[in-house]
Amino acid sequence: MMLKNKFAVITGSNKGIGLSILENFSKNGANIIACARSKTDEFEKRCIEISKKNNNKIFPVYFDLNKENEILDGLKNIETITQDLDILVNNAGINQASLLQMTQMKTVKEVFQVNFFSAVMLTQKLMKIMIKNRKGSIINISSNAAIECNAGRSIYSASKSAIVAFTKSLSKELGAFNIRTNAIAPGLTNTKMMSQGIQQKIIEDAIKRIPMKKVAEPDDISNVALFLASDLSSYVNGETIFVTGGY
């Protein structure tokens, strides 16, 4: 068990890549605070099933990353659950695709709030626990859009580029405290966000340009997160790992 007796916070853990990270971390021995936007019976049941299967603890915590007051309330809940945090995964995010001339400033602010500012808020607060304990791994989920920067993706790409820069700079601030900060930049991944947010023709054209001729599965991303969360990556810091099949 690569994460035995470790405690993790994961945002956006109710679906897609986040759910795969939740299952992978639990299978490898971690106790988890599983953050999601809203409570559902399906997710509550899933957390109980995963917890019983792996004989560890999962604590669902709910807050909307688009609302700063809810983030603050969520942080208070997290602090009542544990003061021994080893891993933070800033995974939650929203997709966005439109030409800049067709994009309202309201949308720009929402994308940055969910994809970037919320991660900053959570990290700024929770890293204090890691600094006190002089240990930790922070994992930020970016995207290959951070460097591909295709037409119609200016705002989304900018928010994910911000995550990469944030990761690099923070790694230099926290390294002396034995806290590692890294990012993962997935390419196309088989999630609802992909299927609902990207036209099928665009997906098919992209697959033609991927050397491995397929999109990633959520487990492909969560396995990299597991590596970065574990002691196997004890000297990996300030890096962005692209998981794109060679795209």
Whole-number Å distance between alpha carbons of 156 and 158? 5
Tokens representing residue 39 in the block:
């409570």
Q: What is the mean pLDDT of residues 36-48?
A: 97
Residue 180's nearest CA partner among 222, 223, 123 is 123
Distance of alpha carbon 14 from alpha carbon 4, whole angstroms: 22
**Residues that are catalytic:** 156
71 located within any domain: yes
pLDDT exceeds 80 at position 154 = yes
Q: What is the pLDDT of residue 82?
A: 94
Q: What are phi and psi of 180, to 5 degrees?
A: -100, 140
Over range 214-229, report the average pLDDT.
97
Residues 89-125: pLDDT tens digits? 999 999 998 999 999 999 999 999 999 999 999 999 9
The enclosing domain of 32 has a CATH number of 3.40.50.720
Read off the pLDDT of residues 78-97 as tens digits, 9 standing for 90 and up: 999 999 999 999 999 999 98
User: Average pLDDT for residues 4-20, to the nearest whole number?
Assistant: 97
- Is pLDDT at 226 greater than 80 in this prediction? yes
User: Per the domain annotation, does 36 fall within a domain?
Assistant: yes
Structure tokens at 44: 């509550």
Domain count, the chain: 1
- Tell me, yes or no, whether 1 lies in a domain: no
Residue 26 falls within a domain, yes or no? yes
Q: Say how far apart CA 95 and CA 157 lie, in whole Å.
A: 10
Inter-residue contact 212 to 205 (CB < 8 Å): no
Assigned domain for 186 exists: yes
Q: Please compute the mean of the pLDDT values over residues 137-149 and round it to a whole number.
A: 95
